Amino acid sequence: MNSDEQTHVISVTNLSKHFAEYQAVDDISFTVKKGEILALLGPNGAGKTTTINCILGFLKPDGGTVSIAGIDPAKDVVKARKQLAYIPEQVALYPKLSGLENLQYMSKVAGVNKNKAQFRELLERVNLPKHATDKPIASYSKGMRQKVGIAIALAKNAKALILDEPTSGLDPSASHEFSQLIQTLAKEGVAILMATHDLYRAQEDAHSVAIMNQGKLVHSLTGDGIKEVQLESLYLEHVRVASTC
Amino acid sequence: MLILTLKKEWLESKREGRIIWLSSIILILLACALLSSWHSYQQLQTQKQQVIKSERERWLNQGEKGPHSAAHYGVYIIKPDTALSVLDPGLSDYQGAVLRLEAHKKNDTLFRSIQDAIQMQRFGDLNPAFILQTLLPLLIILLGFHSIAAERESGTLKQLLANGLSPKSFFTAKVLALTGLGLLFFAPVVLYLVYSLLFNDGSFERGALFIVSYACYIFVWALLTLIVSSYARTARSALITLLVIWALACLLLPKFAIEDAANRYPTASSQVFQSKLESEIYTPARQQAIAEFKRATLSKYHVDNVDDLPFAWSGAQLQFGEQYADKVFDRLFGQRQTQLEAQSLHYQNMAIFSPFIALQTVSMSAAATDLAHHQLFSNAGETHRRLIQATLNGDLKDNGKASIRNNKSYQGDHHLWEKIPDFNYQYPAISELSAHYGRAAACLLLWLAVLFSLSYFAIQRIEKEGQL
């Protein structure tokens, strides 16, 4: 294993997945390194969520491979999932339980061994208001639920974080706060894959951008290139071009 | 994982409120049923002991009379109860608790509680068995129908799986948590069984069978509930499916099985049966047989007249008449018994489709309130009746001659009455009666085995979450 392979926490190689006649993901490859944020962009139906489901091991690829910290979810899904945390658009939590109780249950189920005080600290770290910690999730805003989701990822010490439309529906302030949190996680060495429609957030936060359309990876950008381009124009250009092909 | 799941389920249920109320209602109902059954049982046992004592006194103090008059005077024997009958009265209300033993007749048991029941009682009797067999599965369904389906609906299942949850551990923990909750409702019953074992001469073997079969039943319903919940797309569809299964298994199939058994293996009504008995005993053939017996006896003793026999002919003739009737009893009661056993076996066979029928059969057997135990008691009573008749007729035959010579009718006294032993019947060990409940017990185990196999697919279904 070379140094690149060691730092590539998420590796997707020639991934393909089809549903009946529909090719949802068509031979795509990308990697996310330790501490890197990759924004996966694309219109609805581009194949972003299918790609994420393959990475999470919810779908078995028809071709290609996925690797999470060196583990193929198609071979050992539970072990692969132990390495990652997943935050969907709507973080699914138990409405009758408090944020703290949700965090405790979700983390302990994943094999995390921490005490109550440590879990409280994690909720503080994600800036969940103290008064909300012991209140039922039913009373939480979407932003607060996302914070509990991040706390779950922190508790797990996940090597990779998979986000599916994490800022959708968040107000600008909550979106900004969320962005800061994931940047902190990246600085701590977590590899982050973020499927999003939020071009602004992608340009602000991501170290790499991959644009998908009709199951194909149609364009990639890394480093300073992201800040320098008109991402919206580039996105629309690739989405439009691909759609008319 | 189990403790974690239990704690989480408990917290959710506590905050849900309805579940706590529902569980409390069932527990209160169970406690009331248990106390009420226990109270009735205690009263009944006291009464039975009094009746047994006074009945013996009545027999011994009947004064001097002809042995055959004493045979008609008769004795009443009391059916014994096990401590488990408090939990499962089974068929007791329909079977009667007292049997009159007299000359020439094989009676059916008397004092069936159902005869004294008020009309409204036909809509159901609240006893612990009804609650445990019918209401507890419903409670398990209500506690567990949403357990996995709601997690799927709300997305928490996917969230948990993405977190590295093992579907097998998750399903196992859910099953054990639900079974544990179900067993909690069984705890008062276990306490009662321990009490009856320690202080009430209960049978360990019967108690163990009772506990194990109910634990299996609770496990069956917990597995069934969670398998359906694993497959259902929504909690609502899981609930509807489970309620249909419950209604079929606990309400409709047992009724259908009873009707079907009665149609396939019909038995004559009580009146028809009694009149058939009468008509088949008191026939010209009987007169002929008695005449033949008389001829053979006179020939054996080389005399021409019964007065010349070395014993009282009346005693010998009465005993011959008894034995003649006994053969008819054995044949006709045997035929009826064969039909009843066929009905019972047919009902048991339906346990393949209903765990309720399987448990009900095993439970009644353990509690000695089923048909087989009733038949054992009846048979023991009949053996005792024949012993009484043989003793009294034998005494008349042996000692009646002297009185006839003195132109006096022979009178028995308390020395003769004391020769009739107490009827002190005890049911055999339950292991000896496995032929009567073995099929049902096997069905209960079969249900467990099938559900265990289906659990594998339920776990697969959880694993595939996210693909659908």
Least CB–CB distance from A90: residue in B155, B160, B467: B155
Strand order in the sheet with B105-106: B75-78, B98-102, B105-106
Whether A161 and A191 have beta carbons less than 8 Å apart is answered as yes
Q: Is the predicted pLDDT of residue A245 greater than 80, yes or no?
A: no
Q: What is the pLDDT of residue A213?
A: 86
- Residue B460 at interface with chain A, using a CB cutoff of 8 Å: no
Can you tell me which residue has the tokens 């039943």? B217
Q: For residue B81, is it within any domain?
A: yes
What is the structure's pLDDT at B209?
A: 93
Give A72-89 as a DSSP string: -TTT-HHHHHHTEEEE-S
The string over B94-124, giving b where at least 16 C-beta atoms fall within 10 Å of a residue's C-beta and e elsewhere, is: ebbbbbebbbbbbbebeebbeeeeeeeeeee
Confidence label for A6 from pLDDT (cuts 50, 70 and 90): low
Q: Which chain A residue has its CA at the smallest distance from B167's CA?
A: A78
Rounded mean pLDDT, B211-219: 95
User: Is B256 or A168 the better-scoring residue by pLDDT?
Assistant: B256
Residue B356's pLDDT is what?
96
Examine residue B468 and state whether it is found in any structural domain, yes or no.
no
Give the residue from chain A lying closest to B7, CA to CA: A105
pLDDT in tens, A41-92: 888 888 888 999 899 888 889 999 999 988 898 888 888 888 888 888 888 8
Q: Is residue B147 part of a domain?
A: yes
- At B113, the pLDDT band (50, 70, 90 cuts) reads low
Average pLDDT for B168-189: 88
pLDDT digits (tens, 9 = 90+) for A170-197: 778 888 888 888 888 889 888 999 998 8
Residue B100: closest CA among B44, B43, B58: B58
pLDDT tens for B284-312 read: 888 899 999 999 999 998 998 888 888 99
- Asked if A93 lies within 8 A of B156 by C-beta distance, the reply is yes
The predicted pLDDT at position B458 comes to: 94
Of B4, B163, B467, the CB nearest to A81: B163
Q: Tell me whether residue B453 is in a domain.
A: yes
Place of tokens 């019953």: B189
Q: Three-state SS for B402? A: helix
Instruction: Look at residue B346 in the predicted model and tell me its pLDDT.
Output: 92
Interface test with A, best of B158, B159, B462 (most A CBs within 10 A): B159
The answer to the question of residue B295 being in a domain is yes
A153 to chain B: closest CA residue: B163
Complex prediction ipTM:
0.83
Q: What's the average model confidence in pLDDT over B390-409?
A: 82
In a domain, B201, yes or no: yes
Whether residue B72 has pLDDT greater than 70:
yes
Which residues of chain A neighbour B162 with C-beta distances below 8 Å? 56, 58, 81, 84-86, 162
Using CA atoms, how far apart are residues A55 and A51, in angstroms rounded to an integer?
A: 6
Average pLDDT over residues B317-343: 91
CA nearest B85: which of B127, B115, B117, B126? B127
Give the pLDDT score at B454: 95
Regarding predicted confidence, which is higher, A198 or B52?
A: B52
**List of residues 6+ apart from B87 with CB closer than 8 A:** B34, B37, B127, B128, B129, B132, B189, B192, B193, B210, B363, B367
Lowest model confidence (mean pLDDT) among A220-229, B108-117, B424-433? B108-117
The answer to whether A55 and A29 are in contact (CB under 8 A) is no
Question: What pLDDT score was predicted for residue A237?
Answer: 73
Find out whether B394 and B315 touch, Cβ atoms under 8 Å. Answer: yes
Tell me: pLDDT of B468 over 50: no
Q: Rounded to an integer, what distance in angstroms lies between the CA atom of residue B261 and that of residue B234?
A: 38
Nearest residue, CB atoms, A109 vs list B154, B158, B165 = B165
Instruction: Count up the domains in chain B and report the number.
Output: 1
Question: Is the confidence at residue B124, as pLDDT, over 50?
Answer: yes
Q: To the nearest whole percent, how much of chain A has pLDDT over 90?
A: 22
Q: What is the pLDDT of residue A1?
A: 45
What mean pLDDT is reported for chain A?
84
Q: Is the pLDDT of residue B44 over 60?
A: yes
Are B134 and B140 within 8 A, CB to CB? no
Q: Is the confidence at residue B93, as pLDDT, over 50? A: yes
Task: Determine if the pTM surpasses 0.90.
Answer: no
A57 to chain B: closest CA residue: B162
Whether B199 maps to a domain, the answer reads: yes
pLDDT > 70 in chain A, percent: 91
What percentage of chain B carries pLDDT values higher than 70?
95
pLDDT of residue B115: 60
Most confident of A204-208, B94-98, B213-217: B213-217
Q: What is the rounded average pLDDT for all residues in chain B?
A: 88
What separation in angstroms does the CA of B324 have from each of B44, B288, B392? 37, 11, 17
**Residue B400, domain extent:** 2-463
CB contact under 8 A, A96 and B15: yes
What single-letter DSSP state applies at residue B428?
P
B269, pLDDT greater than 90: no
In a domain, B240, yes or no: yes
Among A59, A97, A107, beta carbon nearest to B12: A97
Highest-pLDDT range among B106-115, B185-194, B327-336: B327-336
* Interface touch A56/B466, C-beta < 8 Å: yes
